[in-house]
Amino acid sequence: MTVNEQILEEIAACEKLLIGIGEEWKAEGIPDMGILYEKMNELIKDKDFFIVTTVTDGEILKSPLEQSRMVAPCGNATWRQCSKTCTKDIWEPGEIPQDVCPHCGAPLTGNTIEAEDYIEEGYLPQWKAFTMWLAGTLNKKLLVLELGVGFQTPTVIRWPFEKTVSINKKSHMYRIHGKFAQLPDTVKGKADAVLENSTEFFRKL
Ligand SMILES: [Zn+2]
């Protein structure tokens, strides 16, 4: 059986599906990103899944993937915040026509970790939903797909996912990355490394 067939079989068989999306999924330079997310939705829409992404371009929000089942801890550039952080308000795209803070008049900026003073309230409600979901995976057959997560922000997905896999006896992980697919001993026997760019791999899945 090929790795692709194995993954498809495990998606069908798992009770919980955790997906991590990292650096390789930045839409910049990938013209068909929308198609990849649509494909992901087709593959997983009937599963009990949760997606954690460090990508901040907001492309995933345009996809049909269920938004109550995803969290973007590094933020979302299409959501706007005050560049001076005079308020914790966060606005949807186009909600403030001039892109200027209605409280203090400062320009708005993307609600991401790139902002000088990142307003974390944007993702915290979904983070709460995620931690509750994750707590419910402990004794369940858990499949973890880690797609293109390197070492830009390893504390968000990479290291916590390794820990999740190491403590769940029924878990299995695929770490797919063009350069950094290596696995630590803590997940030995419970994880497979696929050394291939994860968007290219996913396109062929
Ligand atoms: Zn302001």
Q: What is the pLDDT of residue 71?
A: 98
Closest CA to 52 of 77, 24, 71, 80: 71
Tens digit of each residue's pLDDT (9 = 90 or more) over 121-146: 999 999 999 999 999 999 999 999 99
Rounded distance from Cα 27 to ligand 1 centre (Å): 29
Q: What is the pLDDT of residue 153?
A: 94
Rounded distance from Cα 156 to ligand 1 centre (Å): 28
Rounded distance from Cα 100 to ligand 1 centre (Å): 8
* Consecutive H or E run containing 42: helix 33-44
Q: What percent of the chain has pLDDT over 70?
A: 100
Rounded distance from Cα 81 to ligand 1 centre (Å): 8
Query: Does pLDDT of 93 surpass 90?
Result: no
* Average pLDDT of the segment spanning 61-76: 97
Q: Is 53 helix (H, G, I), strand (E, B) or coil?
A: strand
Rounded distance from Cα 99 to ligand 1 centre (Å): 11
Q: What is the pLDDT of residue 97?
A: 86
Per-residue pLDDT band at 29 (split at 50, 70, 90): confident
- 3-class secondary structure per residue, 108-172: EEEEECCCCCCCHHHCHHHHHHHHHHHHCCCCCCEEEEEECCCCCCCCCCHHHHHHHHHHCCCEE
Greater pLDDT, 27 or 82: 82
Give me 63's structure tokens. 């996809």
Query: Does pLDDT of 148 surpass 90?
Result: yes
Q: What is the pLDDT of residue 54?
A: 98
The strands making up 16-21's β-sheet, listed across from edge to edge, are 70-71, 49-53, 16-21, 142-147, 171-176, 191-194
Q: What percent of the chain has pLDDT over 90?
A: 95
Per-residue pLDDT band at 119 (split at 50, 70, 90): very high
CATH number of the domain at 3-73+123-204, please?
A: 3.40.50.1220
Query: Does pLDDT of 48 surpass 90?
Result: yes
Rounded distance from Cα 87 to ligand 1 centre (Å): 6
Place of tokens 């910049």: 28
Q: What are the Cα distances from residue 134, in Å, to 12, 93, 165?
A: 19, 30, 11
Tens digit of each residue's pLDDT (9 = 90 or more) over 176-190: 999 999 999 999 999
Rounded distance from Cα 24 to ligand 1 centre (Å): 33
Query: Does pLDDT of 106 surpass 90?
Result: yes
Q: What is the pLDDT of residue 155?
A: 96
Q: What is the pLDDT of residue 67?
A: 96
Rounded distance from Cα 151 to ligand 1 centre (Å): 33
Q: Is 176 helix (H, G, I), strand (E, B) or coil?
A: strand
Rounded distance from Cα 129 to ligand 1 centre (Å): 29
Q: Which residues surround ligand 1, an ion (CB under 5 A)?
A: 82, 84, 86, 101, 103-104, 106
Q: What is the pLDDT of residue 175?
A: 98
Domain definitions of the chain by residue range: 3-73+123-204, 77-119
CB 14 within 8 A of CB 47: yes
Q: What is the pLDDT of residue 31?
A: 87
CB 170 within 8 A of CB 142: yes
Rounded distance from Cα 121 to ligand 1 centre (Å): 15
